[in-house]
Amino acid sequence: MPGFLSWISGLFATKQSAPPAPEARLFNPSPEKPASDTTPDTSPELAQQLEEHLSCWLLDAEPATLRVDLSSYDKILEELHQRLSNNKMEELPRQPMSLPMLMRALSDESTDRQHLTEIILGDPSLTDQLLQIANSPYFRTGDHAIESVDQAVFVLGVDGIRNVISAAIMRPMMAARNSREALFGQRAWRWGLTCARSAELIARTQGEDTSAHFMVGLLPSLAYITIRRELQRICRSLSATGEPEPALIRHALARYQWATCQLLANEWNLPPKYHAYLLAAERPAPRQKHTPLTDGMVIGTREVLRHAHQRNLAEDELPKLVRLTPEQISNVRNAVQKMLREGGRSTVRS
């Protein structure tokens, strides 16, 4: 993918050392007002606040602990920078073995249920994860448990099973490896699912590809845990502690979250439109129409924080960050709130 490789090379080529993390890189609402309008635009400040609230929750940290001086970590940050720029991330998840075949089958309108079932059954680990995800409150459509892959494809339909497959592929990659990352991994997964569902719902209202937006909506949460693990690996090799400080993690996430998403999409050979969705969310042009991913990330983050009783955006501030009608905002919020409530009551592992 020459275009992508040129972009990623340009991102790092001119930087000899890790630059300071810019604020609010996760949420990048495009300026809506014409250049001649001198009214202050509060959206960058609101986006920065929302990202800080998310960081505090994911890292289980107070705001003050995320603002400490990081000069003593220059060597660690430089090593992370070099690994990203040279595609040497040791923790970057490799392409799932069955993903190319599944994506071809799901994009082919002539694919029947039996063929899709056979592909899934050919990967035993995917089969197990898929049934767990399909029976989770985030995807379950009725009171009866789904007991087979064929039943899952039949009950959920091709569109529904696409999203279950995306979640089933990524869930093992985000499962906690130890007690130190258990809380971060659990919260990142819940955040990722909420953003993915929000992006999917917005895509549906706009006639866009719902399954592509669901999958791309999961990538930031996978990028987060990938960066955290890479930092931990670097810290172990360069220091005695081996555990990165919350401020260091937050700094690395702010600087490299979208670049890591692009590396994941490239490593997995995802179609070009996935790269385009990610790039539009990271670097929107002025007055550019927001993609479902851009607005889905904002609403999903706001609602998962609200559900967890954390600081978030006020009701009247949300419309300043998204380009949706009040009715569209309400519909998406209601749907993800229901998903989060049911997920909180469930004992099914998701």
Show the tokens assigned to 268: 């997995």
Please work out, in degrees rounded to the nearest 5, the angle formed at the alpha carbon of residue 267 by the alpha carbons of 265 and 270: 40
Q: What is the pLDDT along the chain (350 residues), one digit of tens a residue?
A: 545 444 454 554 444 444 444 444 899 988 766 555 667 788 889 999 999 999 999 999 999 999 999 999 999 999 999 999 999 999 999 998 889 988 888 777 778 888 889 999 999 989 999 999 999 988 888 788 999 999 999 999 888 898 999 999 999 999 999 988 999 999 999 999 999 999 999 999 999 999 999 999 999 999 999 999 999 999 999 876 678 999 999 999 999 999 999 999 999 999 999 999 999 999 987 778 899 999 999 999 999 999 999 999 999 999 999 999 999 999 999 999 999 998 865 444 44
CA separation for the pair 22, 251 (Å, rounded) = 9
User: How many CB atoms within 10 Å of residue 317?
Assistant: 16
How many domains does one find in the chain?
Answer: 1
Let me know: does 64 contact 52? Beta carbons within 8 Å.
no
Q: How far is CA 6 from CA 9, 73, 281, in A?
A: 5, 29, 19
Name the nearest CA neighbour of 88 among 99, 100, 80: 80
Give residue 114's domain range: 41-345
CA separation for the pair 293, 270 (Å, rounded) = 16
Would 299 be classed as within a structural domain?
yes
Would 20 be classed as within a structural domain?
no
Show the tokens assigned to 314: 């006020």
Instruction: Give this prediction's pTM.
Output: 0.89
Would 16 be classed as within a structural domain?
no
CATH number at residue 311: 1.10.3210.10
Show the tokens assigned to 138: 């985030």
Largest CA distance in the chain: 60
Would 152 be classed as within a structural domain?
yes
Would 26 be classed as within a structural domain?
no
CA separation for the pair 278, 259 (Å, rounded) = 9
CA separation for the pair 25, 284 (Å, rounded) = 11
CA separation for the pair 311, 56 (Å, rounded) = 9
Would 12 be classed as within a structural domain?
no
